[in-house]
Amino acid sequence: MKNQINDIKNRALGEIGKVKTFEEVEVLRVKYSGRKSELTNLLRGLKDLSPKERKKMGELSNQTKRVIENELEKKELEIKNEELSYIDEKEKIDVTCPGEKLEKGHLHPLTQIRYDIEEIFKSMGFLVVDDREVEDEFHNFDALNIPKNHPARDMQDTFWLKNGSVPRTHTSSVQVRFMENNKPPFRIIVPGRVYRNENSDATHDYNFHQVEGLMVAKSGEITVANSKSIISEFMKGLFGEGTKVRLRPSYFPFVEPGFEFDASCPYCKGEGCRICKGCGWIELGGAGMVNQNVFTSVGLTEDEFEGFAFGFGIERLAMIKYGIDDIRLFHAGDLRFLEQF
Nearer to ligand PHE among residue 83 and residue 198 (C-beta): 198
List the x/- string, 166-205, binding to ligand PHE by CB under 6 A. ----x-x---------------------------------
Q: Which of residues 309-338 bind ligand PHE (CB under 6 A)?
A: 309-311
Shortest distance, position 133 Cβ to ligand PHE, whole Å: 14
Q: Per CB under 6 A, which of residues 141..170 are in contact with ligand PHE? A: 170
Q: Determine the Cα–Cα distance for residues 119 and 165; give it in Å rounded to an integer.
A: 33
Whether residue 291 contacts residue 256, with contact meaning beta carbons closer than 8 Å, is answered with: yes
For residue 250, the minimal CB distance to ligand PHE (Å) is: 8
C-alpha to C-alpha distances, 69 to 3, 6, 28, 66, 278, nearest whole angstrom: 19, 15, 10, 5, 95
Three-state secondary structure call for residue 192: strand
Q: For residues 211, 284, 221 and 290, what is the CA-based torsion angle, rounded to 10 degrees? A: -70
Label each residue of 108-138 as H, E or C: CHHHHHHHHHHHHHHCCCCEECCCCCEECHH
Give the Cα separation of 122 and 150 in Å (integer). 36
Contacting residues for 279 by C-beta, under 8 A, at least 6 apart? 272
* Residue number, 182 or 250, with CB nearest to ligand PHE: 250
3-state secondary structure of 44: helix
Q: How many residues in the shown chain lie near ligand PHE by CB under 6 A?
A: 11
Strands 186-195 and 127-128: parallel
Q: Which is nearer to ligand PHE, 64 or 291 (CB)?
A: 291
CB of residue 336 vs ligand PHE: minimum separation in angstroms? 31
Is the CB of 184 or the CB of 286 nearer to ligand PHE? 286
Residue (71 or 212) nearer to ligand PHE, CB: 212
Tell me, what DSSP letter sits at residue 204?
A: B
Could you tell me the smallest distance in angstroms from the CB atom of residue 161 to ligand PHE? 19
Among residues 32 and 259, whose Cβ is nearest to ligand PHE?
259
Instruction: For residue 200, give the DSSP letter.
Output: -
Among candidate residues 199, 211, 245, 33, the one with its CA nearest the CA of residue 121: 211
Among 191, 253, 266, 288, binds ligand PHE (CB under 6 A): 288
Footprint on residues 51-90 left by ligand PHE (CB under 6 A): none
| Closer CB to ligand PHE, 195 or 310, in the complex | 310
Residue whose CB is less far from ligand PHE, 71 or 315: 315
Site stretch for ligand PHE (CB under 6 A), options 39-47, 146-154, 199-207, 280-288: 280-288
Phi and psi torsions of 127, nearest 5°: -95, 140
Residue 196 beta carbon to ligand PHE: minimum distance, rounded to whole angstroms: 9
N-to-C CA span, the chain: 86
Type of residue found at 118:
E
Instruction: Tell me how far, at minimum, the Cβ of 231 lies from ligand PHE, in Å.
Output: 11
Least distance to ligand PHE, CB of residue 93, Å: 59
Largest CA distance in the chain: 127
**Nearest to ligand PHE of 172, 264 (CB atom):** 172
Select from 231, 287, 314, 320 the one that contacts ligand PHE (CB under 6 A).
287
Three-state SS annotation for 261-279: EEEECCCCCCCCCCCCCCC
Applying CB under 6 A, among 143, 230, 231, 255 the residue interacting with ligand PHE is 255
Which residue in the set 195, 252, 281, 330 belongs to the binding site for ligand PHE (CB under 6 A)? 252
Minimum CB–partner distance for residue 177 and ligand PHE (Å): 14
The contact set with ligand PHE (CB under 6 A) reads: 170, 172, 212, 252, 255, 286-288, 309-311
